[in-house]
Chains A and B, each alone.
Chain A
Amino acid sequence: MKELDALRSELMTAVKDAAGLDELEQIRVSAFGKKGSITGLMRGLGAMNPEARKEAGQALNALKNEVAEAIEAKKRTSADSELDARLAGERVDVTLPVRSESQGCIHPISQTIDEVVAILGEMEFSVAEGPDIEDDWHNFTALNIPPDHPARQEHDTFYLPGSGDDDRLVLRTHTSPVQIRTMMETKPPIRIIVPGRTYRCDYDATHSPMFHQVEGLVVDESTHMGHLKGCLIEFCRAFFDMDDLPVRFRPSYFPFTEPSAEVDIGCTREGGEFRIGHGDDWLEILGCGMVNPKVLENCNIDPSKYQGFAFGLGVERMAMLKYGIPDLRTFFESDLRWLRHYGFSAFQVPSMVGGL
């Protein structure tokens, strides 16, 4: 036994003092190799009588396990410190820039349209579309704007030759012709919104020859001005994310609605700074009204049975107000600095659940 204790003490000390994996391997071979000290003792067991063999065998096994474990444990710590030492020498300058990547973004017009759709989609509106090049009938006449109506002059229409003087085509001056196309093609109940490009022959600080509108149309048997108010008040408050945003309706005139209204939201210009919300002033943001019975008639919908409302809002204007964009014309200049500044992440998809 003394012999074993001495061997244990010798091996354990060697393990403890071993410097590095190579030395540990040498110790392992010196103990467990073919010519190893423990291997030799194991071999000697065969010559013993069964009783002595059992006792010595147990003691030897215990020693064997003990040493093997100690070697393994030491190996692990050695490996760790060697790794630490290696990694310590592998520092890079993490302030170096990353590999080049370009960041894309969504135009504020698209984002605003998506927001409008997200809100009104909650009220069962679905998105309808129509052509940008329209005929006179869809753009004007069917909307109760006869050829010599003063309102028609105010539209600053772009014309295309069409097939002659009496049949000129127009770039739609509003998204309202899609109302007509929808009513001609579908039966009530109708609940649509129409985001799209519109065109007016006008260019100055506050006018662009192309801009965007979202039209809304509801036709059924019972929708009235109270619903119109409910719909648009909810819309404005959701869009500007302001639960108590003051919204007021003022009588106005559009040939295609009767009664007609303009919608103002509360704002303040105190201290020269413009802010939406409670204040002493109002800002006009959209036009609306009950669909004129003549328009329904023009679309072969019986005005004694059906009624509804329509509204139209300017997308750029809404975006300018919400996001503080000062100049209309910059929307179409494709200046990357502007697009990046006012643009939105691809993953910022507007929804009522996720927020606008």
Chain B
Amino acid sequence: MKFTFGWLKEHLDTKATLDEVVEKLTMIGLEVDQVHDRAKDLDGFVAARVVEAKKHPDADKLTVCRVDNGTETFEVVCGAPNARTGLIGVFAGSGSYIPGTGITLKPTEIRGVVSNGMLLSEKEVNLGDDHDGIIELPDDTPLGSPVAAALGLADPVIEIEITPNRGDCLGVRGIARDLAATGVGTLKPLDRDPVPGTFESPIKVHLDFDKGTEDACPYFVGRFIRGVKDGESPKWLKDKLTAIGLRPISALVDITNLMTMDLGRPLHVFDAAKVEGDIHVRLSKKGEKLLALDGKEYALDGGMTVIADDEKAEALGGVIGGEESGCTEGTVDIFVESAFFDPVRTAMTGRKLNILSDARYRFERGVDPAFLVDGMEIATRLVMDLCGGEPSELVIAGSEPKWRQSITLRSERIENLGGVKVAKKKIADILSGLGFEAKGSKNGLNVSVPSWRSDIVGEACLVEEVIRIFGYDNIPAIPMDNNGGLPHPALSPDQRRRAMARRLLAGRGLVEAVTYSFLGGAAAALFGGGGESLKLINPISADLDVMRPSLLPNLIAAAARNAARGTADVRLFEIGPIFSGVKPDEQAIAAAGIRSGSSGARNWAEKPRPVDVFDAKGDVLVVLGGLGVAVEKAEIAPEAPDWYHPGHSGVVRLGPKTVLAHFGEIHPRVLRDMDADSPMAGFEIIFDNLPKLKEKKSRARPHLELPQFHAVERDFAFVVDSGVTAAQVINAAEKADKKLIAQVSLFDVFEGGNLGEGKKSLAVNVVLQPVEKTLTDAEIDAIAEKVVANVTKATGGVLRG
């Protein structure tokens, strides 16, 4: 919403400065976006007449002008083609700074003639791009006067953001009213005296609505004005509209724009000669067409409010006028419409047809339902003043929609909701300043809401009105009450677990990424997703149209992008949502990581190797272990989803079904399909599948018993079939003596040599931890034999000689 400071003062009697008004506007919720002081770049320049222009003696295209600024004359060399005797231009004397060029003028000799200043073009004062000629001021401009006034630019333009609830401030008067309520000035009276009609309008208005749809346009005020002469608007009107970025068109059109911007009262003017019969306000029929004022033809749906004549739709109510019934130069008789259109239907129509107009903008935010007649009278007067003509009596159809409401405001609510104590008298003053009527009652104040404030629906709204005008700055800030104690943890155990996983992974050298929750359907399909139910109806692009089934594809794509930029060894992880369906419980939170390229940069001490499944497995085990998951109870099985290398991947499982995580090298075909070429290993941990943390009664750890006796270690190497897993050998060894065997770890795998085809050797280290007494050699040998026997029994392996 734009207006000028002078325009505001037509409604507001105030001595406040521009800065004070701007500050006030912002602090009552009418946020000032910017103030454009158009005169700023014209500061110091004055109107001056070219008293004599003659050709430069030594240059074809230059003119030597003698310029009179009212007190002195100067000789100025000018290159503009329009420089001529008698012209009044914008004069900049020596020493002035030219904002458009950034140059400070000084007397300069141009081909033998000294130039003492300049006559300026629009471009040189940042008024436009025109640099072909110098600015020409009206003939009656007083010489020596500041040029901003002569150019109609003295008045600063204020632009404010109006929140969607404040339809009443989409007219300058509404803004003035809000300001007046703060005491910054007083609202000037508005001349709304009726203009008597001299004849009965030959055009009648019919509200043709079926039962139940009457609220589309419940109230219509029309007037026939005959014998008008449309033409150019006067300067004051053109200046106003130009200042706020509207192009003056003709007096009749400019009047409707003025009414919209000044009073928030959109109007429409029909060329009466082009209206066949009467006006019918009705809902559109599906397929009906309208050629609108913007030159486009719209195919209407059913259910849009149209202003029609006997033949066809002539305008879209509250949205846009029609081209065919619009006024032209030859228009003689007009029919003016001042109507009330339903906000919801207007918004819907505008949205469906994608028409943004000043009228729609106001109707969908709610215009004053009690200002139709006043608006018509004011408009009539403007038409008669600018275009002449003779008005008919008002044509009124329907009736004012119900808007009266009264709300009880308990004055203590200002304090116990608004947080500030405001005296009763002050409350009543603020409300009446805003146009409310506040009467004391038993419970507080009985407040009648004015017709233009359809946004006020309850007591809380009134509290806002009072404290907003009283000033949010005056509300004392009070610290939050912690119930007198220390705060409790903000995170739930599950949330804490995720937070810890994040820092564990970063601590392991992975860099956290945050990627979109959506991705392309093809990538989603590679990871078991891409179903229709998770496909966005209106994605921003086709490669961001499906909710992600896994965090891995985005990380793989990110790793590939980094590789393309020259960072081949990428370690990335992300913690975030993945989606298997649209229901809340089909969204899970996962942590995933990707390592690509080599284990590290080339190094003099350590040779890098390609990343592999065990890097990913390490990430998983560190995170799960760090989160207190009993990893030793979990099973690691080679059954990862098919986006992993089938032989270099696995899952971490608790019980037969619960998959805590999967890990492995990414399937080369998946990498190929994603245009990623470096080898990659990744993992994904599903937090939702981790065993729930139990609410522990005590945080005490179990008693620690440190062994009294030295541990004994023995190594064994078994030759087994190559299908036997390390886990099988370790499990069998552990079972040899559950009490004394403290740990079994695998430290070597060997294939080939003389072992023969299909065989491998697995070497384990077994730690025996005596509990009661030192073990004798015989006891140790007995356990060792049991270890061998168990492994042999479980795996068919034999001790390697």
Chain A residues packing against B (C-beta within 8 Å):
96-97, 99-107, 109-110, 114, 117-118, 120-127, 129-133, 148-151, 153-154, 158-162, 168-169, 171, 193, 197, 199, 201-203, 209-210, 218, 222, 224-231, 233-234, 248-253, 258-262, 290, 292-294, 307, 331-337, 339-340, 343, 345-347, 349
Contact = CB atoms under 8 A, between A and B. Distances in A.
A225 B567 contact: no
Interface in B512-545: 512-518, 532-540, 544
Given A100-B606, A150-B364, A225-B418, 4 more contacts: A96-B604, A107-B514, A132-B577, A133-B582
A160 B463 contact: no
A100 B608 contact: yes
A258 B456 CA distance: 10
B774 interface: no
A340 B511 contact: yes
A225 B561 contact: no
B512 A347 contact: no
Interface string B461-499: 101100110001101111111110001111110010001
A164 to B, nearest CB: 12
B643 to A, nearest CB: 19
A193 B417 CA distance: 21
A113 to B, nearest CB: 9
A335 B514 CA distance: 10
Interface of B: 26-29, 31, 163-166, 343-344, 347-348, 351, 364-365, 415-420, 458-461, 463-464, 467-468, 472-473, 475-483, 487-492, 495, 499, 502-518, 532-540, 544, 547, 554-555, 558, 561-562, 565, 567, 569-573, 575-577, 579, 582-584, 587, 599-601, 603-606, 608
Nearest to A157: B538
B516 A334 contact: no
Contact of B477 (A106, A197, A226): A226
Closest 6 interchain pairs by CB? A100-B600, A251-B29, A226-B419, A121-B490, A259-B464, A253-B163
Nearest to A109: B514
A257 to B, nearest CB: 9
Contacts of A349: 503
Residue with the greatest number of chain A CB neighbours at <10 A, chosen from B29, B460, B538, B582? B460
Given A132-B577, A250-B31, A332 B460 contact: no
B594 to A, nearest CB: 10
A259 B468 contact: yes
Residue with the greatest number of chain A CB neighbours at <10 A, chosen from B28, B475, B508? B475
A302 to B, nearest CB: 14
Given A105-B511, A106-B503, A259-B464, A161 B31 contact: no
Given A104-B507, A131-B584, A251 B480 contact: no
B495 A124 contact: no
A227 B512 contact: no
Contacts of B562: 334-336
A103 B569 CA distance: 12
A249 B468 CA distance: 10
Nearest to B30: A251
A225 B164 contact: no
A127 B503 CA distance: 18
B555 to A, nearest CB: 8
A228 B464 CA distance: 14
A248 B475 CA distance: 11
A292 to B, nearest CB: 7
Given A96-B604, A127-B492, A160-B537, A331 B463 contact: no
Contacts of A133: 547, 579, 582-584, 587
B685 to A, nearest CB: 16
B513 A339 contact: yes
Contacts of A160: 533-537, 547, 582
Contact of B505 (A103, A104, A126, A252): A104
A129 to B, nearest CB: 8
A334 B490 contact: no
B605 A99 contact: yes
Nearest to A102: B509
B351 A153 contact: yes
A334 B572 contact: yes
B330 to A, nearest CB: 39
A103 B505 CA distance: 10
Given A100-B599, A160-B535, A253 B29 contact: yes
Given A251-B468, A259-B460, A290-B460, A110 B478 contact: no
B502 A230 contact: no
Contacts of B31: 250, 252, 262
B478 A226 contact: yes
B129 to A, nearest CB: 25
A234 B478 CA distance: 10
B475 A225 contact: yes
8 contacts: A97-B603, A104-B509, A132-B547, A132-B579, A150-B364, A162-B582, A222-B416, A253-B166
Nearest to A146: B344
Nearest to B351: A153
Contacts of B165: 253
A93 to B, nearest CB: 10
A197 B343 CA distance: 33
Residue with the greatest number of chain A CB neighbours at <10 A, chosen from B417, B488, B518, B561? B417
Contact of A334 (B532, B535, B558): B558
B605 to A, nearest CB: 5
A231 B481 CA distance: 10
A197 B576 contact: yes
Nearest to B456: A258
A209 B476 CA distance: 38
B31 to A, nearest CB: 7
Given A105-B511, A252-B31, A334-B558, A293 B460 contact: yes
A107 B513 contact: yes
